[in-house]
Amino acid sequence: MECRGLKFYLSIYRKILIQDLKSKMSYRADFVISTIGMIMTNVAGFITFMILFHNFPTINGWDYYHMLFLYGFSLVALTPVQCFFDNNWNLRFMVQSGDFIKYCFRPINVFFYFMSEVFDVKGLGQLMFGLGTLVYAWYHIGVPVTFLTIMQALIFLFTASLFMIAIMNFAAATCFWIQGSGYVMVIMFRFKDFAKYPASIFSGIFKIIFTFVIPIAFVAYYPSLVLLSPDEVPLLSWLSPLIGLVFFFLSYKFWMLGVRKYDFTGS
């Protein structure tokens, strides 16, 4: 496979994105309805939080605004997997039908080529709602607004997104070995609902699983502690950028391992 530079891939991605957006905007009613649906889903989650904290003022020491901060943080962190990696949901169908073979014949990275074909615009609705929730909670908690805190927020939001992207890469790539991989995708995606809760509410085996096996705790909890508890930041929070990069790299290699298996067998 020919090795290309970043400038080349950015140029290709821009062209593919423009064509994808043009095709989506030709069905504007579908776009508007889908975006409204995404926003309403998140509004429902917000209302659930309000009802929950009407009955329980705190959860394991976490009050309403701190939990809301975690919720908004997780929504923003989940946006990249929604917008840029949504084509993972189509991978198993392409593999089963044999149509995936077309990606193996182009002189560009297969992972990039496949993912770049779909940009889910609905994720922008989630991003706006998540940012609004995060800013609202940020203000009420009283987190200082400084250059340092803004940079920390950007770095650790990016870090958090890497974990969910990696989880879905691993889940999607199982289709190269498992026919019923759709269940794996759905189960792994459902785990995102646990990202809006602090890992401290889990105990024993579940805390270990959500930290080291299916690292949902890194989607919001550990990265957000850098902003919420600057004086008592656990080591896992500081290490989360490195762990996130490693986890994403491993998911990419696993995904590409599946591609090589598919290419060699022709199945």
* Phi–psi pair at 221, nearest 5 degrees: -60, -65
**Closest by Cα among 74, 42, 84 to 219:** 74
- 94: part of which helix (H) or strand (E)? helix 88-97
- 83: part of which helix (H) or strand (E)? helix 64-84
Instruction: Report whether 254 contacts 170 (CB < 8 A).
Output: yes
Confidence band for 257, pLDDT divided at 50, 70 and 90: very high
Instruction: Report whether 132 contacts 29 (CB < 8 A).
Output: no
7 vs 65: CA distance, rounded Å: 42
Residue 218 three-state SS? helix
- Residue 145 belongs to a domain: yes
223 vs 74: CA distance, rounded Å: 10
216 vs 29: CA distance, rounded Å: 34
Quote the DSSP letter at residue 107: S
pLDDT digits (tens, 9 = 90+) for 49-98: 778 777 777 777 888 899 999 999 999 999 999 999 999 999 999 999 98
Instruction: Report whether 83 contacts 123 (CB < 8 A).
Output: yes
- Residue 1 belongs to a domain: no
40 vs 45: CA distance, rounded Å: 9
- Provide the number of structural domains found in the chain: 1
Question: By residue range, what is the domain housing residue 104?
Answer: 6-265
- Residue 184 belongs to a domain: yes
Burial class (CB in 10 A: 0-12, 13-18, 19+), 256: middle
- Residue 229 belongs to a domain: yes
Confidence band for 2, pLDDT divided at 50, 70 and 90: very low
39 vs 132: CA distance, rounded Å: 12
pTM of the model: 0.88
Percent of the chain predicted with pLDDT > 90: 52
Give residue 118's identity as a one-letter amino acid code.
V
Rounded mean pLDDT, 29-49: 74
CB atoms within 10 A of CB 193: 11
Q: How many helices and strands, by DSSP H and E, does the chain display?
A: 11, 2
∠ Cα 26 31 33 (to 5°): 135
∠ Cα 260 83 87 (to 5°): 30
Quote the DSSP letter at residue 87: T
pLDDT digits (tens, 9 = 90+) for 7-34: 888 888 888 888 877 776 766 676 677 7
Instruction: Report whether 181 contacts 97 (CB < 8 A).
Output: no
Query: Hey, which residues does 63 pair with through a beta bridge?
Result: 58
Q: Indicate if the pLDDT at residue 245 is higher than 60.
A: yes
